[in-house]
Amino acid sequence: MEKEVKYEYTKTPLDYQITEYDCGTTTLLNALRYLFKRSEISPEIYKYIMQYTLDKTNEDGENCKGGTSTYALEFLCNWLNENGSKKGMNISCKVLPKEECSIYNQELNTHIQNGGVAILRVYQDCEHYCLLTALDDEFAYMFDPYYLNINYLDEDTECEIVKDRPFEFNRKVSKTRVDDTGTKDFTLVHGDNREIILISRI
Domains delineated in the chain: 23-201 (3.90.70.10)
Closest CA to 5 of 168, 137, 162: 168
Q: Write out the H or E segment, with its range, that includes residue 34.
A: helix 23-35
Query: What pLDDT tens digit does each residue of the chain (202 aa) get?
Result: 556 666 667 889 999 999 999 999 999 999 999 999 999 999 999 999 999 999 999 999 999 999 999 999 999 999 999 999 998 999 999 999 999 999 999 999 999 999 999 999 999 989 999 999 999 999 999 999 999 998 999 999 999 999 999 999 999 999 999 999 999 999 999 999 999 999 999 9
Q: In whole angstroms, give the CA distance from residue 54 to residue 56.
A: 6
Q: What are φ and ψ of residue 49, in 5° steps?
A: -65, -45
Residue type for 97, please?
Answer: P
Of 118, 92, 91, 115, the C-alpha closest to 105 is 118
Nearest Cα to 11, choosing from 29, 24, 27? 29
